[in-house]
Chain A
């Protein structure tokens, strides 16, 4: 089994990191999309023509889940979790992987929820002025910036953990 930290060995820390990245990114996106999509459904009841714009607005907080998925997948593939005898990952590396995934875990969770709020506000903007869908999208994408930045840093940290 090798060394452990808080009861996990290196391999388990890597699995933990991959799982939590997907989970937290997913939660952020689910909460965000749910709030925007609920509101969209209400608007659609009145005005079915706005489906296109509302769909895009509601789907925007979905990227966080995808970033989490990418991060998780990278850990799985880079560190051979599928082959999984687990011996190849030493404890120090496993913990580094976990810490490297932290930016994505936290930022995707938080920004997904908040982007959902902005998207929801965007939906009510579209309800009043149908032509403003694009502006709503841009406002919503402002929040996403920080999920993107966290993804960039996490990618680099994971790659560094692989080579180092």
Chain B
């Protein structure tokens, strides 16, 4: 229901206990540490403070190795599960005692070296394979050639040359060579869509003429520097080498896959090292002289005794000073809600934390949020699907706090949708006429037949919501000692708003008396008294009477925002109708499919209905969360809530990819999450 009380703590101790103390603080996770060094550097104490760099090099170095190994191993991980488990993220379960000793258990250097050599070998194999594939590609047109490559080139008197030119030129080349150089031969070895691959044999003395003819027709000589045998033998050898390399690659991959089983330990080690690092990094916040260090932090009121106890266990040479938060402090904020309201904190956190001295709005908006959500979905069938799906997903999301809370929200929202749906006769958006009479008896309002009443209902909900916001502002003011404003200004609003609302309703309903005359005269007086109170008490501390009245009139003008705010709740009706109408459209399309398609029409209808209604539910689910949330943030919070506090984040062991099995520690750390 509220923001947890915190106390400020200053801790001064001899430097020799620093490491031990930091370790203990992290394990217990009780204190939110603030940057004392920065704070002191702006005061006259600055010159006492020594610069010091906490050492995290070791952890950094090991972390980089762990990350390398994990990246490498992840490539060989067989992916299990689909979209959903990807969304849930994977967590490794570990006992805390194992977590603490993980550094000795894992031979990081050994694994790292092994992975590195495996990766090097893999890269080398890949490069070699690429080269061989290239040679094979180049060799392929030459397969019919039955001369060894070693014989290509110059002999005593003749020259053997191989090469390629455009096959369109082959006839011309052949003719010219025949005509001008007698001692030559040209053989086409192969031909593809572009080139003719040729072997030219000629006498050394004619080489000038031959070369001239050949170059005229774009002859590109080919050479295979490292190959000796005939192409066919060479190709066979390459195939054999590729085969061998493939085998070796498979063996390396298998070795790497065998290492994958070490992954879970490495993940634990990674989180352990991250925590070691944060243990070093947190010391940047400490102020230190030559022999003494000091830290400043916040501890929750109820944890103070435990904190003292834990610290005094460590050493008697530690001095602790506690202080209540001062006016100019901005203490960190921890939301404290009962089990029922705690899941709604995600909606509050989305907006931002309250300031320390402010109300925590969570418990106040939760019932409204559920009702609004219910109106936006407003269907028994959809609500039921939502409840069942959320119950199932909540089990699956066991380790993800935020997702779990969302599921709890959806369970409540689904239940509300079922109630609203029953009251409005919406069962899978079927037409009201086709419902059994027992279901029809439950209906109190048919939104399509009587949209005006539906709209008025939404306005009424909204107006109540807004008035409740004013009540909370009143409570907040009185709680913080501003009781004149609380009682008279907010009280004035509470009298004025219902009065003026009744008058406006009467004014708008041009035909006849909607509101009884006696009530109307009461309303008139409520409005008048309210105006007086608001004008006089908007700024009770004003210096002059004119200032006070001026501010008051301005405050009264501010009341006009309630009109716009109330109208904003019409979105509830629109979204509720939207769910119903889209579903209705889907039912109509399904019905048409059933009528028009012979024999399999029923199947087509079933497919249309299932997919269509799921689509409708998902689309409206987004709106049903976002719009009620907006009504809280903009319309409701605007009346009493400011926000802008910083969250209470104790220095603690953080498990990013881990879940600790032991209950004692997980309790400590989850308190910070």
Contacts and interface: CB of A to CB of B under 8 A. Distances in A.
Nearest to B350: A134
A130 B556 CA distance: 41
Contacts of B577: 70, 155
Interface in B542-574: 567-568, 570-571, 573-574
A148 B585 contact: no
Interface stretch (A37-45, A59-67, A84-92, A93-101): A59-67
A34 interface: no
B630 interface: yes
Contacts of B622: 56, 59-60
A135 interface: yes
A137 B626 contact: yes
Contact of B633 (A56, A60, A138): A138
Tell me the dominant secondary structure on chain A's binding face.
Answer: helix
Given A66-B582, A135-B350, A152-B574, A141 B630 contact: yes
B393 interface: no
A156 B451 contact: yes
Nearest to B83: A51
Nearest to A138: B630
Interface string B93-105: 0000000000000
A148 B570 contact: yes
A149 B350 contact: no
B571 A145 contact: yes
Nearest to B458: A152
A141 B633 CA distance: 12
Contacts of B585: 69-70, 73
A145 B581 contact: no
Interface in A73-119: 73-74, 77
Given A134-B350, A138-B626, A148 B574 contact: yes
Given A73-B585, A74-B581, A141 B626 contact: yes
A59 B582 CA distance: 17
A142 interface: yes
Given A138-B626, A138-B633, A142-B630, A67 B451 contact: no
Contacts of B588: 77
B623 interface: yes
Nearest to A159: B451
Nearest to B352: A135
B451 A52 contact: no
A70 B350 contact: no
Contacts of B578: 63, 66-67, 70, 151
Contacts of A67: 574, 578
Contacts of A151: 574, 578
A144 B634 CA distance: 14
B451 A149 contact: no
Nearest to A154: B574
B619 interface: yes
Interface in B326-355: 350-351
Interface string B571-602: 10111011001101100100000000000000
Contacts of B581: 70, 73-74
B638 to A, nearest CB: 13
A108 B350 CA distance: 27
B639 interface: no
A138 B350 contact: yes
Given A73-B581, A141-B627, A148 B571 contact: yes
Contacts of B573: 152
A138 B623 contact: no
Nearest to B573: A152
A63 B585 CA distance: 16
B634 A63 contact: no
Interface string A43-58: 0000000011000100
A29 to B, nearest CB: 11
Contacts of B570: 148-149, 152
Nearest to A59: B622
Interface string B625-636: 011011001100
A138 B629 contact: yes
A69 B582 contact: yes
A13 B621 CA distance: 34
B455 interface: yes
Nearest to A147: B574
A60 B619 contact: no
A70 B451 CA distance: 15
Nearest to B403: A52
B345 to A, nearest CB: 13
B448 to A, nearest CB: 9
A20 to B, nearest CB: 18
Given A66-B619, A152-B573, A145 B568 contact: yes
A66 B588 CA distance: 16
A148 B633 contact: no
Contacts of A63: 578, 619, 623
B87 interface: yes
Nearest to A51: B87
A70 B574 CA distance: 10
Nearest to B575: A148
Nearest to A151: B574
A155 B576 CA distance: 13
Nearest to B449: A159
Interface in A11-42: none
A32 B627 CA distance: 18
Nearest to A149: B570
Nearest to B577: A155
Contact of A52 (B87, B455, B568): B87
Contacts of B350: 134-135, 138
A7 to B, nearest CB: 30
Looking at A62, A141, A159, which has the most chain B CB atoms within 10 Å of its CB? A141
A11 to B, nearest CB: 20
26 contacts: A56-B622, A62-B619, A63-B578, A66-B578, A67-B574, A70-B578, A73-B581, A74-B581, A134-B350, A135-B351, A138-B350, A138-B626, A138-B630, A141-B626, A141-B627, A142-B630, A144-B627, A145-B571, A149-B571, A149-B574, A151-B578, A155-B451, A155-B574, A155-B577, A156-B451, A159-B451
Given A51-B87, A63-B578, A155-B574, 4 more contacts: A59-B622, A66-B619, A70-B577, A135-B351
Interface of A: 51-52, 56, 59-60, 62-63, 66-67, 69-70, 73-74, 77, 134-135, 137-138, 141-142, 144-145, 148-149, 151-152, 155-156, 159
Q: Top 4 closest A-B pairs, CB basis?
A: A134-B350, A148-B571, A70-B581, A141-B626
